[in-house]
């Protein structure tokens, strides 16, 4: 399998903070606890002192969850190892429809591969995938793009009704609308060559499942041999274990908020943007309990932020608490509370003996802010590693790229540049040689004239330079028109350009952020995940790999 690695600065639309984190860490090291290298992990693992009782309590919940998901024996072996002292290599993602964008897989595979590498080096490690079931932005997870027969196809469930809007996605049922979607997707997977993937999809997605449970069951089947531990943070038992963190977020709210606002100013002073806006009223918690509105209607489980409305006063929607009252509510109904984006990872690493988290550019920006929360609440922070990323090039795309002398990076440059290069490459070779030969002769003539006119009248040199530019422009224009004429009858250029853009730069974003991986795996065959896993190790962390599928 052909693989070409690119540095992240060669990718389109990358944030300044992310690029400095990877390429010039000294400029951002004030915002992170450790350098983003696998070599930073052993020291963190040696220093980690994680309570055995908490290991056992979380392990028991993980066993129950992964049993319900249908996990394989290797998962339970890893849960045993985690309970007996292994460290955790964690990644996670939103629970998108039909597995969501491809980078969900890349995160999971990276956690698996890095955990395996550490274990071979003598550091017992297990991979954990944190499913973002508490996220309430259902619009981000209810659709997925599919590359099929050279075109993008969008699968999408309807927005939830008023009663479910705003609830954590892990509690929203897929409903009857999922039946037709599963039928269509399963047919496509069979058409692509994988009856097994179609079966997995049918077993995982049905009207009785939620976005979270369906995602978990699909991943449990796909990763049954790799030992990937899945974690659903909506579990009431995990919330009970996390109560000390929730309490601290309330009791020390003012100090935490002051540190976060200071960190936001530090980031701005350094020329970066804060990923999460923190205001004077912000807290680090959401409330998901029932509320009564102004007309007496009940808001069942909607996730709303808790705000500080004054000294010792808190509010979420129609709900009001004094500090003591809020702490008492947390103790009695911890499952009604949820961490904000800046506390979520801290809760994760309170529950798990995490030594490394594998994330994307946006998550790395979150950690620049949450570092102050880690330091204040836990007194430790894992190594934050940048996940590897991939653009998969199928056989047809590879042939087109070669035929038109294009690279994947050229597709990222935009339609206008792609079309220009394809038109130039469409000129027949003999005609192209004529263009080159005649162009050189014209330039040689102009050089000769330039020398003669300089002797006659130096002010005429500018006219020669202008003529040279005009001739260059017109010859290039004529060459491109010739290329267009070559393919005009069949409109091949437009078709090929569309094919390459839909596959390699769909909707003007990187492939991994838009396209589902399942159709690629169906065409790739049973060994596809294994081949990808080999590329997800520490050597490719922070790199983007162009992979040509055989």
Note the pLDDT tens digit of each residue in 462-513: 776 777 777 777 777 777 777 666 666 447 788 899 999 999 999 999 999 9
Quote the CA–CA distance of 45 and 354 in Å, as a whole number.
Answer: 8
Start-to-end CA distance of the chain, whole Å, equals 7
Asked whether the predicted pLDDT for residue 460 surpasses 80, the reply is no
For residue 368, which of 29, 7, 82 has the smallest C-alpha distance? 29
pLDDT in tens, 273-294: 999 999 999 999 999 988 765 4
Exposed, middle or buried: residue 398 (CB in 10 Å: 0-12, 13-18, 19+)? Answer: middle
The pLDDT-based confidence of 149 (bands split at 50, 70, 90) is: confident
Q: What is the DSSP secondary structure assignment for residue 157, as one 8-state letter? A: P
| Residue 199 pLDDT greater than 50, yes or no | yes
From CA 340, how far away is CA 35, in angstroms rounded?
A: 25
Distance CA 309, CA 297 (A): 24
Average pLDDT over residues 190-217: 96
Residue owning tokens 């609830």 = 167
What pTM was estimated for this model as a whole?
0.88
Site of tokens 């800046």: 342
pLDDT of 493 reads 81
What pLDDT score was predicted for residue 486?
A: 60
Percent share of the chain, pLDDT over 90:
77
Q: How many CB atoms lie within 10 A of CB 25?
A: 14
Note the pLDDT tens digit of each residue in 354-368. 999 999 999 999 999
Residue 423 near residue 493 (C-beta atoms within 8 A): yes
| Confidence at 297, pLDDT banded by 50, 70, 90 | very low
The mean pLDDT value for 386-401 works out to: 95
Token pair 């297990």 in the structure block, residue: 126
Task: Specify the 3-state DSSP secondary structure of 168.
Answer: coil
- In 3D space, the residue among 160, 136, 140, 139 whose CA is nearest the CA of residue 301 turns out to be 136
CA–CA distance, 276 with 290 (Å, rounded to integer)? 26
pLDDT over threshold 60, residue 261 = yes
Chain-wide mean pLDDT for the chain?
91
């Amino acid at each position: 399998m052909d693989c070409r690695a690119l540095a992240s600065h060669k990718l389109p639309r990358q944030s300044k903070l992310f690029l400095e984190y990877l390429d010039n860490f000294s400029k951002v090291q004030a915002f992170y606890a450790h350098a983003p290298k696998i070599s930073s992990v052993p020291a963190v693992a040696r220093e980690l002192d994680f309570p055995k009782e908490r290991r056992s309590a979380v392990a028991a919940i993980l066993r129950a969850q992964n049993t319900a998901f249908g996990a394989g024996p290797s998962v339970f072996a890893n849960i045993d190892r985690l309970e007996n002292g292994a460290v955790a290599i964690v990644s996670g993602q939103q629970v998108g429809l039909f597995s969501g964008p491809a980078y969900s897989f890349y995160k999971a595979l990276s956690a698996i591969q890095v955990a395996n590498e550490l274990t071979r080096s003598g550091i017992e490690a297990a991979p954990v995938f944190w499913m973002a079931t508490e996220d309430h932005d259902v619009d981000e997870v209810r659709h997925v793009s599919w590359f099929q027969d050279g075109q993008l196809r969008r699968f999408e469930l309807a927005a939830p009704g008023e009663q479910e809007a705003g609830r954590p996605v892990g509690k929203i049922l897929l409903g009857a609308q999922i039946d037709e979607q599963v039928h269509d997707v399963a047919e496509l997977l069979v058409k692509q060559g994988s009856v097994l993937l179609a079966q997995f999809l049918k077993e995982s997605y049905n009207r009785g499942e939620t976005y979270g449970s369906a995602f978990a069951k699909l991943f449990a089947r796909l990763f049954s041999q790799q030992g990937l531990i899945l974690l659903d943070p909506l579990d009431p038992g995990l919330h009970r274990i996390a109560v000390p963190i929730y309490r601290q977020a309330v009791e020390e709210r003012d100090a935490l908020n002051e540190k976060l606002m200071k960190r936001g100013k530090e980031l701005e002073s350094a020329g970066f943007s804060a990923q999460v806006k923190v205001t004077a009223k912000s807290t680090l918690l959401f409330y998901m309990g029932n509320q009564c509105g102004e007309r007496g209607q009940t808001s069942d489980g909607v996730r709303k932020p808790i705000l500080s409305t004054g000294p010792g006063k808190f509010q979420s929607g129609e709900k009001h608490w004094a500090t003591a009252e809020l702490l008492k509510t947390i103790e009695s109904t911890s499952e009604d509370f949820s961490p904000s984006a800046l506390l979520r990872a801290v809760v994760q690493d309170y529950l798990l003996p995490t030594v490394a988290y594998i994330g994307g550019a946006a998550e790395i920006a979150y950690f620049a802010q949450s570092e102050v929360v880690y330091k204040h609440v836990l007194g430790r922070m894992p190594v934050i590693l940048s996940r590897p990323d991939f653009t998969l090039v199928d056989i047809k795309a590879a042939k087109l790229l070669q035929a038109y002398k294009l690279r994947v990076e050229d597709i990222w440059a935009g339609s206008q540049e792609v079309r220009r290069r394809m038109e130039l490459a469409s000129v027949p070779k003999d005609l192209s040689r004529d263009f080159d030969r005649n162009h050189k002769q014209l330039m040689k003539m102009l050089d000769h004239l330039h020398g003669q006119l300089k002797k006659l009248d130096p002010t005429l040199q500018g006219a020669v330079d202008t003529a040279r530019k005009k001739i260059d422009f017109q010859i290039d224009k004529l060459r491109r028109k010739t290329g267009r004429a070559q393919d005009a009858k069949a409109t091949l250029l437009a078709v090929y350009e569309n094919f390459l853009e839909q596959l390699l730069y769909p909707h003007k974003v990187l492939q991994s952020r838009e396209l589902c991986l399942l159709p690629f795996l169906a065409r790739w065959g049973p060994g596809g995940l294994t081949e990808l896993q080999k590329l997800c190790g520490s050597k490719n962390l922070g790199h983007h790999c162009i992979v040509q599928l055989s």
